[in-house]
Amino acid sequence: MCLEKGRPASEEVRLTGMESPNMGTLMGVYLPCLQNILGVILFLRLTWIVGTAGVLQTLLIVFICCCCVSFIFKQCICTLRSKQTYS
């Protein structure tokens, strides 16, 4: 029940044509926070990594990390869609 106008929420959605996003806790809260934290760490530490390892090795490190992270997220999405657990 919509408190302001006294109409049911489904009628409110039908009239406005807008529905609130149902992103959940993982995609709506944890993922944006994790992206922010990792982005700041990467921004602050990338110059140190380049200075220590060199440009080519830094590109290799970043590529390997991106591959690992994308694999983990793909596995997480597949698990959430299929409602099965992989052990």
Calpha distance 61→66 (Å, rounded): 9
pLDDT tens by residue, the chain, 87 residues: 445 555 555 665 565 666 656 767 777 788 888 888 888 887 888 889 899 999 999 999 889 988 887 888 787 777 777 766 555
Question: Nearest 5°: CA angle at 77, between 87 and 84?
Answer: 40
Radius of gyration of the chain (CA): 21
Q: Write out the two tokens for 10.
A: 């489904």
Look at residue 2 in the predicted model and tell me its pLDDT: 47
pTM of the model: 0.47
CB 39 within 8 A of CB 46: no
